[in-house]
Amino acid sequence: MTPSYEHLALDRPRTHTLDHLVDLDTNAPARASKFIAWLRERQSEAENVVWHAHVDPALDPTLLYHLPPPLSVAGHQAPSPHPWLAAHRPAMCHYRMGPGFILVQDVRQPSTAARFELDEPALIDAFTHCLRPRQLTDLDGNRREAALALVAERLALRLGDWVTTLPTRMRRWPTPSPVV
């Protein structure tokens, strides 16, 4: 039987191939956060990323399962796919902008699947502000509090002092994606 992730490796235009091993190192939070934000945008644009990773054991990889998975993870033994590649599906954790609200759907972990409707201005502000990785120390009190609330709900990643919004924006749906 065909492995369920094989179609994710389909050759597509708009593919980014990274030659170097990307180190998701919690001791270099600015660099790791910026890479994760870049990866998120690639997913939002429905672009392919071909890359290989080293994932710091201190980083919870399940937070990233909705982002383009690395083809290999240093230290993981073949032949079974590493969990990120095995778990990844299109549209696992995404947000959609509406008039005065943001809808978020998160099925990265089926047991904790959740839907969020962000309508508090402070949360919407923090969510959109942290699409670019931000340092908590640069955020004012309300924004910091809202950003930490997003972290608590697994909708933002905190690495050291850095906070980055995690859901991808859903504008280009996978096919097939009928409403009904």
Partner 1 sequence: MRVCLAAMPWQAVDTPSLAVGILRRRVAEAVAGAQSTEYPGALRWAEYLLAETGAAVTPAHYMLVADKGIGHGLGDWVFTGALRDEPERRHSEWPADVPQGVVDPAVLERMRTLAAGFVAEATAEILALRPDVVGFTSTFMQTVPSLAVARAIKRQRPDVKVVFGGANCDGPMGHAIHRNHRFVDFVVRGEGEIVLPTLLERIEAGKPVADVPGLCWWDGEQSVANAMVAHQTVPPALIPMPDYDAWFAAMDVSPVREYLSPYLFIEGSRGCWWGERHHCTFCGLNGPRMGFRSKPADRFLAELTHLVERHRVLDVMTADNIMDMAYYRHLLPRLAETGWDLRIQFEAKANVSPQQIAQLSAAGVCAVQFGIESLNSRVLKIMNKGVTAATNLRVLRDSDDHHLTVLWNYLYGFPDESEHDYWPVIEQMPALVHLQPPAGATRIGLQRFSPYFEKPELGFAHRRPAKFYGRVYDVPEAELEDLAYFFECDDAGIAGGVEKALVEAIADWRANHPFSSLFRMEGPDRTLTLRDRRRGWPRRDHVLTGWRRDAYEALDRGRTEESLRRFLAEQEITVDAADLHDWLSSLRRHGLVFAEGDEFVALATTDVPVRMRTDD
- Using CB under 8 A as the binding rule, whether residue 103 contacts partner 1 is answered as yes
Q: How many residues of this chain bind partner 1 (CB under 8 A)?
A: 36
Nearer to partner 1, 16 or 171 (CB): 171
Two tokens at 70?
A: 């690395």
* Binding residue for partner 1, selected from 6, 77, 111, 137, defined by CB under 8 A: 6
* Binding residue for partner 1, selected from 57, 75, 100, 141, defined by CB under 8 A: 100
Residues 35-94 that bind partner 1 (CB under 8 A): 46, 89-91
- Using CB under 8 A as the binding rule, whether residue 10 contacts partner 1 is answered as yes
- Using CB under 8 A as the binding rule, whether residue 7 contacts partner 1 is answered as yes
Considering only CA atoms, which of 128, 138, 136, 135 is closest in space to residue 167? 128
Nearer to partner 1, 5 or 26 (CB): 5
**Bond prior to 13 in cis (omega within 30° of 0):** no
**CB-based contacts of 24, cutoff 8 Å, min separation 6:** 32, 35, 36, 53, 54, 55, 56, 59
d(CA 114, CA 128): 19
Q: How far is the CB of 133 from partner 1 (least distance, A)?
A: 22
Two tokens at 163?
A: 């906070």
Which DSSP letter does residue 9 get?
G
- Using CB under 8 A as the binding rule, whether residue 132 contacts partner 1 is answered as no
Fill in the amino acid letter for 176: P
Two tokens at 174?
A: 């996978």
Backbone torsions φ then ψ of 107, nearest 5 degrees: -125, 30
Nearer to partner 1, 94 or 134 (CB): 94
Task: Tell me the β-bridge partners of 17.
Answer: 50
Q: How far is the CB of 175 from partner 1 (least distance, A)?
A: 4
- Using CB under 8 A as the binding rule, whether residue 2 contacts partner 1 is answered as yes
- Site for partner 1, rule CB under 8 A: 2, 4, 6-7, 10-14, 46, 89-91, 95-101, 103, 115, 117, 119, 169-180
